[in-house]
Structure 1
Amino acid sequence: MKGCDALVTVLLLMAAIVIILSVIVSRLASRLKVPMLLGFIFLGLFVGNDASLGPVFSDFALTESICTAALVIVMFDGGFQTRWKAAKKAALPAGILATAGVLTTAALTGLFCHYALGMPWLTALLTGSLISSTDAASVFSILRNQKLALRDHTDSLLELESGSNDPVSYLLVTVILTMMQTTVTWLDILWILLCQIGIGLLAGWLISRFALWFLSKVQLEFSGFLTVFVLACALMAYAGSTLLAGNGYLAVYLAGLILGNSRLRHKKELVPFFDGLSTLMQMTIFFILGLLADPDSILAVLPLSFGIFLFLTLVARPAAVFLCLSGFRSSLAKKLVVSAAGLRGAASIVFAIMARMTVPGLGQDVFHIVFGVVLFSISLQGTLLPWIARRLHMSDESGNVLKTFSDYGAEPDLQFSLLELGSESGWAGKTLAELALPPGMATALVIRDGERIIPEGGTLLQKQDRLVITTQPYHSARNLLDSEVLDGDDPRIGKSLAEIASRPIVCISRHERMLIPDGTTLLQEGDTLVFVQKNAL
């Protein structure tokens, strides 16, 4: 094997091992009731600082590039999976928290870092801005894995806020980094804000509208093409906005939100794809951040990190929450839970890497300070959040936290089947009320001569009617079925089902068309017979 091929093979093997270890870690974390993202960080710390496993990883530029690309996927997925119909009741308070709440948190934390910790003004404000947003990946992970549904639309509020506030934090960081590099006026700052917000919103809206227009004109034959196209649109939203000096994260989140709440073919395939890809990206981000961090440097600034974490958790975040929710009918328990759910995560560390790369001469080790804050936030807040919610009687045991996500299903969980009434059908001439349909089945629609008829009990059926029947799906059906293809030498070709001794055939796939057979159906070469397995459970 050539040297280059061997290197690629080794790298692929290492990547596979790390992913498998990450999956195992996530499983262990779930059993221990601790946030699984914490496990990815410690896995990265172990691998990156064990000399026996290879040289120490310290490439900040490469880490920034990888994590930025991964964050784009995570933010797009956060928007794509947000089910607007379920979440819109919490949209206004979530929007205020994602904007005014971030500004308040950044300002208060900056004041603390300057007056209590002695940081220079700009460094203090930068630190506050870096940790001003809550982390979508951490919040989603805890709510989903712990099945933590919250009362009074609180889970929807947290999901919308955490999914949309990273762009605001990024905006603050961009402004302060610009101030650190050059002299700026208030007009300059206002222009930066207008460009970031305006271009970001415009890019996200334009890309999503283009995608919907394209998909309405071009019918992609396979769901795989649709998946690739939507992924390309997500990348285009970020890249296009960033190149035009806009907020790429805002653009990609908005594009995801619009596309996720639009009617798309094969959407049921898109949701699990982006969910799995987002999970892989989260694993990548936290692992590579752990890989990059230096334990000695973390320990050196750990007292600073812990002090900032305490102020952020006990003062800045609650102050921002109580201020932003003061105009809404929110109970004290709800405000306390929202305050406790202000987890910091990957975005804060990635923005800290960006700050280090932009201004190498920062007086403080901002990266490791922020890293320490995130460690405390995920480990302490993340672990205690379910307990706090239950102690405050805010958990909704009868609720389903997935109602806010698109994968919960904007459409009811029903199976639709088409039944055609032939000329010999015994149903013709009867009303729907006279049919003896099994329990759990109903007629949703009658199609007659191209006209759609909403059926009632007295609807009289006619020959050639097509009935759309609804039933509850049996999700394990694929485990029941087996199939067999008829080749040219099969003696059953040309015979009817009534003439052969065979297991009951439930359907026949012929020329990419599914047929529901009866005893008179003649078998043809190339038919795929689908039947129930003998020992199926």
Structure 2
Amino acid sequence: MNAIHHTYWLLAGAAALVLAGIGSSLIARRFGAPLLLVFLVLGMLAGIDGPGGIHFEDYTATYRIGLFALAIILFDGGLRTRRESFRGVLAPTLLLATVGVVITAALTGLAARWLLDLGAVEALLLGAVVASTDAAAVFFLLRAGGLQLRSRVGATLEIESSANDPVAVLLTTLLAGYLAAPQALGPGAFALELIAQFGVGALAGVAAGFAIAFALRTLPLSGGLAALFLLAAALLVFGVTGTLHGSAFLAVYIAGVIVGNRNVPGLANLLSVLDAGTWLCQIVMFLVLGLLATPHTLGDALWPALGVAAFLMLVGRPLAVTACLAPFRYGKREVGFVAWVGLRGAVGIFLASIPMLMRLPHATLIFNVAFIVVLASLLVQGWTLGLAARLLDVALPRRDRAIRRVELDLPGSLERELVGYQVAPGASILGGAAAPGWAQLTMIVRGGAILMPETAGALAVGDYAYLLAPPGRVYRLDWLFAPPDEAREAEREMFGEFSFDAHVRLADVASFYDLPIRAKDAPLTLAEHFARKFEHTIEVGDRVRLGPVTLVARELSDDGVAKVGLKLERIGGALARRAWFAGGLAKLFARR
């Protein structure tokens, strides 16, 4: 009976901690506090040195919980990463995720050796533990905080934080293994292991991503079973890749990216279900890590650990970022923000549990220092994230509410799904904007009655419009139905920052943006260029790539394209400077 009552107590206590964390997060939002810090502190308060008095020191359980939670978090982050995010940032993020981690670990190790009087390998091990940015912290603080970053900066941070874990894990395990058995680390072992980790992880992620997407398109799964299938598949990919000595972190993220960019029926609904799982993983992981900490043992290492944290934030990370991004023409403000948002989180504490599991010398010191570094990072960098984005001018206007869209999978159809919107006051669809040809209006709900488009007449405010559209394109309809304050960001994602009348000559646009065009195309107007590219009927949203720029058909007339949007897919160097004048140029062209 005691065991049964103990189980009830554990369940009630765990649920109470989660509820307390959720309640505390609502208060913390008022003060701009990073929510992950709230969960971490709450775990400490429930721990052995807090009012809760819970004695918890199971590092094996912590390690397993961390693996489970990080697998789900990384997979969810990959599902929400659009393919376009990789354009122009893949090379710099890979450099940051490999060379950048090694540079950060080496520099931080030097500081730790001097501040903590550790041996060379032990100091480097500590540097490796805190070297990687934490994907969970980056995804959580950027998205939960509603911060909208410029595309290149946001993509760099998110992809780097997901891809740098393999190197940090590899460094930590190799160095910990060397301390346990110095003869185990032979010459060239690190390089070979790194290649194997990245190679196996990437191949497994790609293969699993296509397999999962194919299964979701083929199997007749309901919404609940489909979400459970996704979670189980992510954990399977993570576990199998790790068993094959590949990077499980990299594999599960790549699999998520591939699935998220395939035409998967009902993906938006699946993501909304996965939100709950990701939140729970975040909360549980940080609560457990907080429980594991023993504040009374942190005192001796406090000041040296704060010195390591300060060095990492102000010297180690900025030097590594500057060195890695220098060849790619990132602006000083972009480099400064990427350097500052080197958020440390659960991964650092998670890696610090490895020396504890192996019972290495100074393992407790390494764990305590890593905990303090994470705490300092969440306090200082997490709390100032929005301020830094505004000061360095890398933030876009905030969109407080997500555009409301309902997506319904249609059994038997893999190419179309039903998407519904409520027509908001001031929506573009009321002002004469047309839906793309690939989106078919099927019914309208007005005043509780279901009407067919042929009998309903023009759409009105408050109507519910339901359209058939390909799953991968439904987000391109958001700008048509949202209220003006929410539609701006969706419209920018669809058509770009600037718009031109289609009678502008292609040569003028190419000259201003230094774009590659053929000599025979130079005299053409934008409308004529679109007409040559598309033999079929041109539709709103049709696109033409010109180097780092995409031209998007924005408005149509009886003669073809009437207005063209311009998306800057990659902003850097001279192109970035020209972008400052693009608004004026658009107005100039519009008056011609």
Cα-to-partner distance string for 1:333-383 (whole Å, 9 max, x where unaligned): 111111111111100100110222124333661111100000111001111
Distance of 2:123 and 2:345 partners within structure 1:
19
Check if 1:9 corresponds to 2:33: no
1:45 Cα offset (Å): 0.8
In structure 2, the CA distance between the partners of 1:446 and 1:171, relative to structure 1 (3 Å rule), is closer
**Hey, what does 1:290 align to over in structure 2?**
290
In structure 2, the CA distance between the partners of 1:58 and 1:442, relative to structure 1 (3 Å rule), is closer
Cα-to-partner distance string for 1:480-502 (whole Å, 9 max, x where unaligned): xxxxxxxxxxxxxxxxxxxxxxx
Indicate the SS of the match to 1:28.
Answer: helix
Distance of 1:208 and 1:446 partners within structure 2:
26
1:153 Cα offset (Å): 2.6
Cα-to-partner distance string for 1:59-98 (whole Å, 9 max, x where unaligned): 2222212222111111211212212224534333222222
**Hey, what does 2:29 align to over in structure 1?**
30
Indicate the SS of the match to 1:150.
Answer: coil
Correspondence 1:367-446 to 2 at 5 A? 367-397=367-397, 415=421, 417-418=441-442, 436-438=457-459
Q: Note the residue ranges of structure 2 that are not aligned, 5 or more in a row.
A: 408-416, 422-439, 445-450, 470-478, 484-592
**Hey, what does 1:218 align to over in structure 2?**
219
Correspondence 1:293-372 to 2 at 5 A? 293-362=293-362, 365-372=365-372
- Note if contact 2:115-2:304 (Cα within 8 Å) is conserved in structure 1: no
More deviation in 2-11 or 288-297?
Answer: 2-11
- Note if contact 1:150-1:401 (Cα within 8 Å) is conserved in structure 2: no
**Hey, what does 1:49 align to over in structure 2?**
48
In structure 2, the CA distance between the partners of 1:64 and 1:336, relative to structure 1 (3 Å rule), is same
Cα-to-partner distance string for 1:152-174 (whole Å, 9 max, x where unaligned): 63122212222222222112212
Distance of 1:471 and 1:152 partners within structure 2:
22
- Note if contact 2:166-2:197 (Cα within 8 Å) is conserved in structure 1: no
Distance of 1:141 and 1:402 partners within structure 2:
16
Check if 1:188 corresponds to 2:189: yes
More deviation in 188-197 or 365-374?
Answer: 188-197
1:223 Cα offset (Å): 1.2
**Hey, what does 1:59 align to over in structure 2?**
58
Indicate the SS of the match to 2:149.
Answer: coil
- Note if contact 2:180-2:360 (Cα within 8 Å) is conserved in structure 1: no
Correspondence 1:196-235 to 2 at 5 A? 196-220=197-221, 222-235=222-235
**Hey, what does 1:109 align to over in structure 2?**
108
1:118 Cα offset (Å): 2.7
Distance of 2:30 and 2:11 partners within structure 1:
29
- Note if contact 2:21-2:39 (Cα within 8 Å) is conserved in structure 1: yes
- Note if contact 2:309-2:377 (Cα within 8 Å) is conserved in structure 1: yes
1:412 Cα offset (Å): 12
- Note if contact 2:198-2:250 (Cα within 8 Å) is conserved in structure 1: yes
Name the amino acid aligned to 1:257: V
In structure 2, the CA distance between the partners of 1:342 and 1:327, relative to structure 1 (3 Å rule), is same
In structure 2, the CA distance between the partners of 1:471 and 1:79, relative to structure 1 (3 Å rule), is closer
**Hey, what does 1:518 align to over in structure 2?**
none
More deviation in 69-78 or 53-62?
Answer: 53-62
- Note if contact 1:207-1:236 (Cα within 8 Å) is conserved in structure 2: no
More deviation in 371-380 or 253-262?
Answer: 253-262
Distance of 2:143 and 2:257 partners within structure 1:
19
- Note if contact 1:76-1:256 (Cα within 8 Å) is conserved in structure 2: yes
**Hey, what does 2:527 align to over in structure 1?**
none
- Note if contact 2:317-2:342 (Cα within 8 Å) is conserved in structure 1: yes
1:195 Cα offset (Å): 2.6
Larger Rg: 1
1:10 Cα offset (Å): 2.0
Name the amino acid aligned to 1:267: L
In structure 2, the CA distance between the partners of 1:227 and 1:333, relative to structure 1 (3 Å rule), is same
Correspondence 1:58-137 to 2 at 5 A? 58-137=57-136
**Hey, what does 2:243 align to over in structure 1?**
243
Indicate the SS of the match to 1:418.
Answer: strand
Distance of 1:79 and 1:442 partners within structure 2:
31
Distance of 1:48 and 1:446 partners within structure 2:
53
**Hey, what does 1:497 align to over in structure 2?**
none
Distance of 1:386 and 1:52 partners within structure 2:
33
Instruction: Give the length in aligned residue pairs.
Output: 435
- Note if contact 1:40-1:286 (Cα within 8 Å) is conserved in structure 2: yes
CA RMSD of superposed structures (Å)? 3.3
**Hey, what does 1:255 align to over in structure 2?**
255
Indicate the SS of the match to 2:188.
Answer: helix
**Hey, what does 1:460 align to over in structure 2?**
none
What is the TM-score when the length of structure 1 is the normalising length? 0.74
- Note if contact 1:414-1:472 (Cα within 8 Å) is conserved in structure 2: no
**Hey, what does 1:496 align to over in structure 2?**
none
Cα-to-partner distance string for 1:225-281 (whole Å, 9 max, x where unaligned): 211111111111111111122222122122122112222122122112222211111
In structure 2, the CA distance between the partners of 1:302 and 1:123, relative to structure 1 (3 Å rule), is same
- Note if contact 1:139-1:158 (Cα within 8 Å) is conserved in structure 2: yes
Distance of 1:435 and 1:230 partners within structure 2:
40
Distance of 1:344 and 1:152 partners within structure 2:
22
Indicate the SS of the match to 2:87.
Answer: helix
